[in-house]
């Protein structure tokens, strides 16, 4: 069980950027990274000689990795299979991203619309999971009886692939879109419940003693002690959930159709436009990365010490 | 009032995985109003347990405790507690940590509550650090915020669990002097846990010496008849001070160690 509130994937020093509250989380993450890169030089003054090479080495390694990846891709593409090389994909990507928000009927929309519809599904399913899962997690963490009650059910349902729930969703809602949202809901729910409950159980007795000594009201205990103490764990739950949700939405959309990045992948496969599938893979990856980074920033913002 | 705090025949048995553990047995103790009493004893003898009983955080399995003629039933803001490890909430500033307590106890207007909080922090010399978070201040400063939080609610009784235990000797001495001044000024009744002999003699009216656990009891109560205000430096060479100190040392390091061996 992951109880670590802050991810180890942090690449750049984020402390300075933690207060950023841009209009869009992804944009904020980007801006934050830019800030951090800018800030890296002045903060390193004391250690300039020791640190500059390390920082440069890291950048160099990252670039080398990307170059190696593209080279490998090019080699694979030249073997004469049907995989398009980087240049072809780049050209197709320029075309696609030059007009990401066109709309020619329900089955032919720009990649921007597809990504946004997928994000919207994730957002709704995930928001519902938060509304249900966080209070449930609090109760399960606070009352042993409830925890004992829920433990076997959660343990059994957690390893089930979220897609196994899709038919039930289709049965219940008789429509593709709510069924996809429902799958997201189900897969986001477990990490949210489990992490919140763990967080509640980890609250040091000392903090609760402070509340007891002062005879704080239940509400005050919740707002000044339980909630802030559990927040980092909740954010970890959110981060895990978002990661899973973003994985699952692509598969769910392949099955349900409609507008969405997963469906787009399937559609392009039917059109045999392999370069578009590769573009979709990169797009999914980058959006996932941005979601993760935004939540890492959020976690930083709310971690103490 | 002669017997402000009355601990009557109190016993504490913990139920653990390996059966019952008798921590305290037949503890009898009376504390007068305005008195400063120290609990001293070896680690693990049950000092914190006794303090937590008075705080109401745990209930005695035998006997009863009365404060101002009323049985203690659970914790309450009439007793200010300074915990062994400061227990500040890390997501609140020093000011807000203290304000949380002040707001709970007094029903004044907001600006008066804030005034009280400022005053409490000023008393421990932390006006400059009010807006800092606990992780931004030193260990001694945290401990002082803890003391300010306990003092700010003007409790009938102040319960201190090794308030200076984790501090270096210099900071410790400073805070002891501050505590002396504050207690003189407010006339609070104090029960303090310590394992530091000099601290006990310097601060207390009575020193309660506890025997080693399990089933710890009160091994003796020593009256500290040194005049107040007490001066650390002046006391150090005084005969009576040395006598008292020796008595406690003798209890701790001869009688109790022998018994334990
Ligand atoms: N909740 C509990 N359950 C079981 N045993 C406990 C519990 N609390 C304390 N004890 C036991 O009671 C004894 C006294 O503990 P206590 O914390 O009061 O010691 P102490 O005198 O404060 O020690 P120290 O000086 O190290 O703080 C110890 O042996 C401890 O293991
Ligand atoms: Mg203790």
Q: How far is the CA of B161 from the centre of ligand 2 (A)?
A: 7
Q: What is the pLDDT of residue B1?
A: 52
Interface contact B87-A206, CB threshold 8 A: yes
At residue B158, the 3 state secondary structure works out as: strand
Q: Residue B220 pairs with which residues in a beta bridge?
A: B209
Q: What is the pLDDT of residue A239?
A: 87
Instruction: Tell me the backbone φ, ψ of residue A19, rounded to 5 degrees.
Output: -80, -10
Q: What is the pLDDT of residue B254?
A: 83
- CB neighbourhood size of A274 (10 A): 17
Q: What is the pLDDT of residue A48?
A: 52
pTM score, two decimals? Answer: 0.73
The pLDDT tens digits of the residues spanning B35-91 come to: 999 999 998 899 999 999 999 999 999 999 999 889 998 898 889 999 888 889 999
A43 has a pLDDT exceeding 70? no
Q: Residue B82 pairs with which residues in a beta bridge?
A: B160
Strand pairing report for B5-16 and B62-67:
antiparallel
Closest among A78, A115, A69 to A280, alpha carbons compared = A115
CB-ligand 1 contact for B49 (6 Å cutoff): yes
A50 has a pLDDT exceeding 70? no
Tens-of-pLDDT digits for all 261 residues of chain B? Answer: 578 999 999 999 999 999 999 999 999 999 999 999 999 999 889 999 999 999 999 999 999 999 988 999 889 888 999 988 888 999 999 999 999 999 998 988 999 999 999 999 988 889 999 999 999 999 889 988 998 898 888 888 999 999 888 778 887 888 888 888 888 888 889 999 998 999 999 999 999 999 997 889 999 999 999 998 888 888 888 999 999 999 999 999 887 775 554
Q: Nearest C-alpha of chain A: how many angstroms from B55? A: 7
A38 has a pLDDT exceeding 80? no
Q: What is the pLDDT of residue B118?
A: 95
**Selected residues 222-251 of chain A with any CB under 8 Å from a CB in chain B:** 224-225, 228-229
CB-ligand 1 contact for B213 (6 Å cutoff): yes
The C-alpha atoms of residue B197 and residue B212 are separated, in whole angstroms, by 16
A298 CA to centre of own chain? 12
């Amino acid at each position: 069980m992951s109880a670590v509130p802050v991810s180890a994937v942090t690449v750049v020093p984020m402390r300075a950027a933690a207060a950023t509250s841009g209009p869009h989380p992804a944009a904020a993450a980007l801006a934050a990274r830019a800030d951090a890169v800018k800030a890296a030089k002045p903060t390193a003054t004391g250690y300039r000689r020791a640190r500059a090479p390390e920082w440069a080495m890291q950048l160099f390694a990252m670039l080398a990795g990307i170059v190696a990846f593209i080279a490998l891709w090019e080699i694979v593409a030249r073997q004469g299979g049907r995989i398009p090389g980087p240049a072809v994909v780049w050209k197709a990507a320029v075309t696609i991203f030059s007009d990401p928000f066109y709309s020619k009927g329900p089955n032919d929309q720009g990649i921007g619309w597809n990504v946004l519809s997928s994000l919207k599904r994730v957002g709704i399913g995930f928001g519902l999971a938060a509304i249900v899962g966080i209070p449930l997690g609090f109760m399960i963490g606070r009352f042993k009886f409830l925890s004992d009650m829920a433990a076997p059910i959660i343990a059994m349902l957690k390893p089930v692939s979220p897609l196994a729930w899709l038919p039930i969703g289709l049965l219940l809602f008789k429509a593709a879109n709510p069924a996809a949202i429902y799958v997201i809901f189900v897969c986001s729910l477990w990490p949210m419940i489990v992490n919140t409950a763990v967080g509640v159980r980890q609250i040091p007795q000392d903090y609760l003693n402070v509340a007891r000594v002062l005879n704080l009201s239940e509400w005050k205990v919740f707002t000044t002690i339980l909630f802030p103490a559990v927040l980092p764990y909740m954010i970890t739950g959110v981060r895990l959930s978002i990661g899973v949700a973003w994985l699952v939405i692509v598969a769910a959309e392949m099955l349900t159709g409609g507008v969405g990045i997963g469906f787009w992948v399937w559609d392009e496969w039917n059109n045999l436009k392999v370069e578009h599938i590769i573009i979709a893979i990169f797009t999914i990856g980058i959006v996932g990365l941005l979601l993760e980074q935004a939540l890492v920033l959020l976690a930083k913002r709310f971690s103490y010490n | 009032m002669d017997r402000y705090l009355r601990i009557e025949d109190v016993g504490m048995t913990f139920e653990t995985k390996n059966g019952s553990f008798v921590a305290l047995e037949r503890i009898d103790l009376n504390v007068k109003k305005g008195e400063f009493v120290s609990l001293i004893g070896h680690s693990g003898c049950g000092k914190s347990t006794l303090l937590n009983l008075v705080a109401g955080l745990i209930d005695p399995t035998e006997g009863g405790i009365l404060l101002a003629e009323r049985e203690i039933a659970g914790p309450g803001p009439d007793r200010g507690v300074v915990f062994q490890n400061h227990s500040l909430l890390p997501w609140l500033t020093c000011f807000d940590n203290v304000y949380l307590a002040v707001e709970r106890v007094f029903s004044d207007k907001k600006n008066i509550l804030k005034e009280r909080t400022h005053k409490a922090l000023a008393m421990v010399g932390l006006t400059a650090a009010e807006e800092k978070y606990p992780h931004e201040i030193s260990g001694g400063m945290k401990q002082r915020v803890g003391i300010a939080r306990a003092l700010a609610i003007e409790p009938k009784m102040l319960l201190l669990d090794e308030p200076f235990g984790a501090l270096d000797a210099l900071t410790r001495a400073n805070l002891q002097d501050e505590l002396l001044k504050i207690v003189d000024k407010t006339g609070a009744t104090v029960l303090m846990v310590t394992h530091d002999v000099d601290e006990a003699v310097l601060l207390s009216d009575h020193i309660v010496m506890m025997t080693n656990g399990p089933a710890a009891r009160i091994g003796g109560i020593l009256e500290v008849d040194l005049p107040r205000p007490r001066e650390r430096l002046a006391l150090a060479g005084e005969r009576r001070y040395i006598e008292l100190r020796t008595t406690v040392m003798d209890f701790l390091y001869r009688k109790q160690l022998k018994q334990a061996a």
